[in-house]
Amino acid sequence: MDVAGRLSRLRALLEPAGVDALLVASRSNLRYLTGFTGSAGMLLATLDGAFLATDGRYQDQAGDELARAGVHAEVSIGNPPAQLAAIVDAAGGLGRVGFESEHLSFAHHARFTAGDAFGPDRLVPLGGLVEGLRKIKDAGELARIRAAAGIADDALAAVIAQLEEWFSGGGGITEADLAVELDFQMRRRGASEPAFETIVAGGPNGAMPHHRASADRLEPHQPIVIDFGATVEGYRSDMTRTVWVGDLADGEQERIVAVVTSSQLAGVAAVKAAVEARAVDAACREVIDAAGWVDAFMHGTGHGVGLDIHEAPWVGASSEEWLEVGNVVTVEPGVYLPGVGGVRIEDTVVVTSGGCEVLTRAPKQAVKDGRDGAVGTTL
Taking the least distance from each CB to Zn ion, the nearer of 13 and 232 is 232
Give the interface segment with Zn ion, choosing from 73-81, 239-247, 260-268, 354-362 (CB under 5 A): 239-247
Taking the least distance from each CB to Zn ion, the nearer of 321 and 346 is 346
Taking the least distance from each CB to Zn ion, the nearer of 231 and 240 is 240
The answer to whether the beta carbons of residues 56 and 77 sit under 8 Å apart is: yes
Selection from 37, 36, 38, 28 nearest residue 72 by Cα: 36
How far is 67 from 195, CA to CA, in rounded Å? 27
Selection from 282, 305, 285, 303 nearest residue 293 by Cα: 285
Q: How far is the CB of 200 from Zn ion (least distance, A)?
A: 12
How far is 288 from 233, CA to CA, in rounded Å? 37
- Encoded one letter per residue, x for contact with Zn ion by CB under 5 A and - for no contact, window 312-341 reads ------------------x-----------
What are the two backbone dihedrals, phi and then psi, of residue 107, each rounded to the nearest 5 degrees? -65, -45
Among 238, 308, 311, 321, binds Zn ion (CB under 5 A): 238
Q: How far is the CB of 228 from Zn ion (least distance, A)?
A: 7
What's the CA angle centered on 265, arms 134 and 325, to 5 degrees? 25
Residue 24 β-bridge partners: 43
**Starting at the edge strand that comes first in sequence, how are the strands of the sheet with 224-228 ordered?**
199-202, 224-228, 239-245, 367-368
Q: How far is the CB of 222 from Zn ion (least distance, A)?
A: 20
Q: How far is the CB of 330 from Zn ion (least distance, A)?
A: 4
Burial of 167 (0-12, 13-18, 19+ CB in 10 A): buried
Taking the least distance from each CB to Zn ion, the nearer of 154 and 238 is 238
Q: How far is the CB of 303 from Zn ion (least distance, A)?
A: 6
How far is 270 from 31, CA to CA, in rounded Å? 32
Residue 236 β-bridge partners: 231
3-state secondary structure of 237: coil
Taking the least distance from each CB to Zn ion, the nearer of 13 and 359 is 359
| Interface size with Zn ion, residues (CB under 5 A) | 5
Taking the least distance from each CB to Zn ion, the nearer of 231 and 330 is 330
| Residue 281 in the binding site for Zn ion (CB under 5 A) | no
- Encoded one letter per residue, x for contact with Zn ion by CB under 5 A and - for no contact, window 51-80 reads ------------------------------
Taking the least distance from each CB to Zn ion, the nearer of 62 and 201 is 201
Q: How far is the CB of 302 from Zn ion (least distance, A)?
A: 6
The strand pair at 341-344 and 347-351 is best described as: unpaired
Q: How far is the CB of 173 from Zn ion (least distance, A)?
A: 21
Q: How far is the CB of 310 from Zn ion (least distance, A)?
A: 7
Taking the least distance from each CB to Zn ion, the nearer of 109 and 303 is 303
Scanning residues 345 to 374, which ones bind Zn ion (CB under 5 A)? 346
Q: What is the DSSP string of 346-377?
A: BEEEEE-SSSEEE---S-S--EE-TTT-----
Scanning residues 195 to 234, which ones bind Zn ion (CB under 5 A)? 227
- Site residues, Zn ion (CB under 5 A): 227, 238, 240, 330, 346
